[in-house]
Structure 1
Amino acid sequence: MTRIVIIGGGPGGYEAALVAAQLGAEVTVVDRDGLGGASVLTDCVPSKTLIATAEVMTGFDSSREELGIELDFDGDGIGDQVRGIQVDLGKVNRRVKRLALAQSQDITAAVTRAGVRVLRGRGRLSAGQAPDGSRRVTVTGEDGAPGQSEELVADGVLVATGGHPREIPDARPDGERILNWTQVYDLAELPEELIVVGSGVTGAEFAGAYQALGSRVTLVSSRDRVLPGEDSDAAAVLEDVFRRRGMNVMARSRAAAAKRVGGRVEVTLTDGRVISGTHCLMAVGAVPNTAGMGLEEAGVKLSGSGHIVTDKVSRTSAPGVYAAGDCTGVLALASVAAMQGRIAMYHFLGDAVTPLDLGTVSANVFTDPEIATIGYSQEDVAEGRIDARVVKLPLLRNPRAKMQGVRDGFVKLFCRPGTGIVVGGVVVSPRASELIHPISIAVDNSLTVEQIAKAFTVYPSLSGSIAEAARQLHTRKTDDEQ
């Protein structure tokens, strides 16, 4: 029986374990914090649970007046023009932790039922291979105590150790007033004035969520706009929404330091300006968990940033060693980590495998509105990486959006000229994470705008805008051919 050792129990690790067990391997997962990893315990599941509460607050605030909803607090039948609802952050965070733990336990149960052995501890890869090609992984306790060590022999090893929040030397989180994104769930009370440093996906999601929950938020962005890595039209919509709802968005502003001053936090910018708030959330990227694992001694090549270098079937430079997830720096998404892990096991165990194709990966930013993307982007078209036709339809034209009081957002489709094959899309709307799926299917299967346009959609529905964009691209394709 082939022996597989997986170091790390996040999506890349536990999904790989399930595949390897299904294919008949003897599988051991070495995990430090609990199956599900950061994705389940401190990142995706907790943050999206927090955001679920924020969505209810935002939806109510932004559309209740237009939808004819009035509040009556004194029983006189007259609607009071005050918000009237508040968030108990302690209760919200207790729910967040409870759901994260339950999800981790569900994953552990599924992996255990599949026959996988789970070891709590840290794994370190030994240098070199045995004559039979096997490798050794030394497991120590969570605190690294050598007295608790166990040596595992593996025919194949998968490293899926994820990452941890990056820190600015002069802005170290203290878990009370200066926080990273793993520490916010310990807050019992809502921050009155929250400074969010970093306007990438994590920073934008938390900034929008806490603003919806009732905090006064300042978002510090080192770039000229929020979400610099996303579609520029989508980022512009979100930034406009943020500002309209009262957020202070500081563009082209880089934080140099953060310190506590009494019961407040002062953030110093590189240009000398100082911002003051009750709390500060540092969202300045992540660092791969690859140090102290013996990887380079074992022949695993690391990039300058410390990420593990892999190919499209998750192989590293060391024979018999694979890697998946955030520790590879390929694309920091749980879905990508899971796919990398599955591909690694399919490849090592000799099953049919399709190399990783990032062009078919759909991604979502869980702000309000959400931003979902797939395939080629507007930037790819503008810079000549692909020749494509583009149509963008504002949701203001969509009848369902009008009914729901949705004012912000759009659907954008990209297709190849001539063939009409769909090569990308952007959706900015409530539940964009659900609406992107038909576009993902189209991109993954090289469907044409004609095929999308001919498929029935429910009337009225937000998905009707996808079909309408496809119909307009079909018209453009016909015009181009004349």
Structure 2
Amino acid sequence: MTSVVILGGGPGGYEAALVGAQLGGEVTLIERDGLGGAAVLTDCVPSKTLIATAEVMSSIHRAAELGLRIWETGPDASVASSVTVDLAMVNQRVMDLARAQSTDITAKLRSQDIRIIDGVGRLAGPETVVATHADGTEETIAADIILVATGTTPRELPTAACDGERILNWKQVYNLTELPERLIVVGSGVTGAEFASAYDELGVDVVLVSSRDKVLPGQDSDAAEVLQEVFERRGMQIMSRSRAVSAVREADEVVVALEDGREVRGSHVLMAVGALPNTEGLGLEEAGVELGPGGHIVTDGVSRTTARGVYAAGDCTGVFALASVAAMQGRIAMWHALGDRVAPLDMQKVSSNVFTSPEIATVGMTQQQAASSELRIATVMLPLNSNARAKMQGLRDGFVKLFCLPVTGIILGGVVVAPHASELIHAIAVAVSERLTVDQFSTDFTVYPSLSGSVAEAARQLHSRGVTPELTV
């Protein structure tokens, strides 16, 4: 049998293990913190569970507008004012769910006769892995195929050491048992924006420190503008073009110093300033695996590294920090290594979502790519407030945007800014993957009333605007 050894039990690792076993490999997976890795135990699953609670509070805040009141009277009486957030209970549920998910993954792997080693591993050449068990004993394993899926660690500033109490990274934030009086979030990328949005909805006074002009600099500019407007309307303080240089504790406060000499004071600070790949001390370069300038593992479209028989998947590759991408990289690696049919990873087909309120979902071509294209890319953007279902639910902020080719009308990508955009983007993702035209897409039925109706309406408008004469029926 082909010996497969996998370092790391996150989505890239455990999905690869399942494919490896399915294709007849003898699979060993090495993981020290629990199956599911950071995605399940300290990142994706916990953060989205917290955000699910915040989503309920978002609906509660709209209750009065929808005609829902409590029996009490008075100027401050409202549904929202009658709800108290028990953060200790919320975070207990968050971590219980994460551990349960990890247990389910472990059981699934064991049912496929996949060997799981509780410990860490390192390469001793391109065909050998040394596993250090939790009890300190070492085991040398000969490997025909090695997959490195060791993930990342939160980046910390030397002058803002996280203590897990008041200066927190995104792994430590679930230690909180009471809502912060004033939370300073440093970093306005996806992680920073998601936590800022969630805690703001939970009733916390949030200050968002952003080194850029506006939040989410890597996202669609129209979407980022909508989110910034929503944040500011709620009362969140956004300090744009402000770079944090340090964070220190002073009694029950945290003082964040900015590059321009200003200071921001709060009860807690969340440092969301990126992540570093877990690639040191693994023997990678000695085994012939090339690392990029930031320490990420260099891979090709089928997850191969520069060392024969060694593959890599997930955030440690720096390709796209998404659990779905990590999982697909792991599957592709095993399909390729074990001789199954495989196609290279196509980033244009990847759907992503920012779990703020409202959510921002994207797939395929971006606005920047459309603007710089030599082709006359056709674009339409429909505001969410024109949608009947949105009006019924009291939703005003958001839009649907589609991009298509000017001649054929083939849909190249899209952006959805709306509650549950993560669900609405799937239809556009299918259209992009299957190269559907706006005509094909717009003739399929949608439910009325529904938010998805705006996606079909955007396609119809691309046709009615006369993308090209060829699209005229």
Shorter-normalised TM range: over 0.9
C-alpha distance in structure 2 between counterparts of 1:480 and 1:285, whole Å: 47
Q: Does 1:341 find its partner at 2:333?
A: no
Q: Does 1:93 find its partner at 2:91?
A: yes
Q: Amino acid of the residue matched to residue 246 of structure 1? A: G
In structure 2, do the counterparts of structure 1 residues 238 and 266 end up closer, same or farther at CA, with 3 Å as the change threshold? same
> 2:185 matched to which residue of 1?
196
In structure 2, do the counterparts of structure 1 residues 359 and 478 end up closer, same or farther at CA, with 3 Å as the change threshold? closer
Q: Amino acid of the residue matched to residue 470 of structure 1? A: A
Cα distance, 1:383 vs. partner? 2.0
C-alpha distance in structure 1 between counterparts of 2:76 and 2:156, whole Å: 47
Q: What SS does the aligned partner of 1:467 have?
A: helix
- Provide runs of 4+ in structure 1 moved above 6 Å: none
Q: What SS does the aligned partner of 1:477 have?
A: coil
Cα distance, 1:101 vs. partner? 0.1
C-alpha distance in structure 2 between counterparts of 1:190 and 1:83, whole Å: 15
Q: Amino acid of the residue matched to residue 314 of structure 2? A: G
Residues 17 and 27 in structure 2, CA contact (< 8 A), matched pair in contact too:
yes
In structure 2, do the counterparts of structure 1 residues 55 and 324 end up closer, same or farther at CA, with 3 Å as the change threshold? same
C-alpha distance in structure 1 between counterparts of 2:110 and 2:82, whole Å: 47
Q: Does 1:397 find its partner at 2:396?
A: no
Q: Amino acid of the residue matched to residue 97 of structure 1? A: M
Q: Does 1:370 find its partner at 2:359?
A: yes
> 1:80 matched to which residue of 2?
77
Residues 117 and 133 in structure 2, CA contact (< 8 A), matched pair in contact too:
no
Q: Does 1:136 find its partner at 2:125?
A: no
Q: Amino acid of the residue matched to residue 48 of structure 2? A: K
Cα distance, 1:286 vs. partner? 0.4
> 1:13 matched to which residue of 2?
13
> 1:472 matched to which residue of 2?
461
Task: With the length of structure 2 as denominator, give the TM-score of the two structures.
Answer: 0.97
Cα distance, 1:79 vs. partner? 8.8
Q: Amino acid of the residue matched to residue 95 of structure 1? A: R
Cα distance, 1:476 vs. partner? 2.4
Q: Amino acid of the residue matched to residue 128 of structure 2? A: R
Q: Amino acid of the residue matched to residue 335 of structure 1? A: S
1:92-128 residue CA offsets vs partner (Å, 9 max, x unmatched):
000000000000000000011011000011100003x
Q: What SS does the aligned partner of 1:121 have?
A: strand
Q: Amino acid of the residue matched to residue 141 of structure 1? A: H
Cα distance, 1:387 vs. partner? 3.8
C-alpha distance in structure 1 between counterparts of 2:131 and 2:265, whole Å: 45
1:252-275 residue CA offsets vs partner (Å, 9 max, x unmatched):
000000000111000000000000
Cα distance, 1:465 vs. partner? 0.3
Residues 4 and 154 in structure 1, CA contact (< 8 A), matched pair in contact too:
yes
C-alpha distance in structure 2 between counterparts of 1:476 and 1:305, whole Å: 46
Cα distance, 1:141 vs. partner? 3.2
Cα distance, 1:36 vs. partner? 0.3
Cα distance, 1:479 vs. partner? 5.4
C-alpha distance in structure 2 between counterparts of 1:385 and 1:235, whole Å: 25
Q: Does 1:104 find its partner at 2:102?
A: yes
1:277-330 residue CA offsets vs partner (Å, 9 max, x unmatched):
000000000000000000000000000100000000000000000000000000
> 2:66 matched to which residue of 1?
67
Q: What SS does the aligned partner of 1:18 have?
A: helix
> 2:373 matched to which residue of 1?
384
Cα distance, 1:386 vs. partner? 5.4
C-alpha distance in structure 1 between counterparts of 2:460 and 2:409, whole Å: 11
Cα distance, 1:86 vs. partner? 1.4
Residues 71 and 79 in structure 1, CA contact (< 8 A), matched pair in contact too:
no
1:156-196 residue CA offsets vs partner (Å, 9 max, x unmatched):
00000000100111011010000000001111111110000
Residues 70 and 79 in structure 1, CA contact (< 8 A), matched pair in contact too:
no
In structure 2, do the counterparts of structure 1 residues 331 and 385 end up closer, same or farther at CA, with 3 Å as the change threshold? farther
C-alpha distance in structure 2 between counterparts of 1:3 and 1:479, whole Å: 55
Q: Amino acid of the residue matched to residue 243 of structure 1? A: E
Cα distance, 1:385 vs. partner? 6.2
Q: What SS does the aligned partner of 2:29 have?
A: strand
1:220-246 residue CA offsets vs partner (Å, 9 max, x unmatched):
000001000000000000000000001
Aligned length: 470
C-alpha distance in structure 2 between counterparts of 1:73 and 1:211, whole Å: 25
> 1:132 matched to which residue of 2?
none
Residues 196 and 219 in structure 1, CA contact (< 8 A), matched pair in contact too:
yes
Q: Amino acid of the residue matched to residue 28 of structure 2? A: T
Cα distance, 1:58 vs. partner? 1.2
Q: What SS does the aligned partner of 2:416 have?
A: strand
Q: What SS does the aligned partner of 2:400 have?
A: strand
Cα distance, 1:73 vs. partner? 3.8
> 1:210 matched to which residue of 2?
199
1:18-63 residue CA offsets vs partner (Å, 9 max, x unmatched):
00000011000000110100000000000000000001111210x2
Q: What SS does the aligned partner of 1:312 have?
A: coil
Q: Amino acid of the residue matched to residue 349 of structure 1? A: L
C-alpha distance in structure 1 between counterparts of 2:51 and 2:148, whole Å: 30
> 1:329 matched to which residue of 2?
318
C-alpha distance in structure 1 between counterparts of 2:303 and 2:374, whole Å: 26
> 1:117 matched to which residue of 2?
115
> 2:289 matched to which residue of 1?
300
C-alpha distance in structure 2 between counterparts of 1:361 and 1:73, whole Å: 49
Residues 418 and 477 in structure 1, CA contact (< 8 A), matched pair in contact too:
no
C-alpha distance in structure 2 between counterparts of 1:30 and 1:205, whole Å: 31
C-alpha distance in structure 1 between counterparts of 2:374 and 2:312, whole Å: 29
Cα distance, 1:418 vs. partner? 1.0
Residues 5 and 27 in structure 1, CA contact (< 8 A), matched pair in contact too:
yes
Q: Amino acid of the residue matched to residue 55 of structure 2? A: E
* Unaligned ranges ≥5, structure 2: none
Cα distance, 1:64 vs. partner? 1.2
C-alpha distance in structure 2 between counterparts of 1:296 and 1:14, whole Å: 24
> 1:38 matched to which residue of 2?
38
Report matched runs for 1:232-251 at 5 Å: 232-251=221-240
Q: What SS does the aligned partner of 2:466 have?
A: helix
C-alpha distance in structure 2 between counterparts of 1:90 and 1:399, whole Å: 38
> 1:27 matched to which residue of 2?
27
Identity across matched positions, percent: 64
Q: CA RMSD in A?
A: 1.4
C-alpha distance in structure 2 between counterparts of 1:234 and 1:102, whole Å: 34
Cα distance, 1:83 vs. partner? 1.5
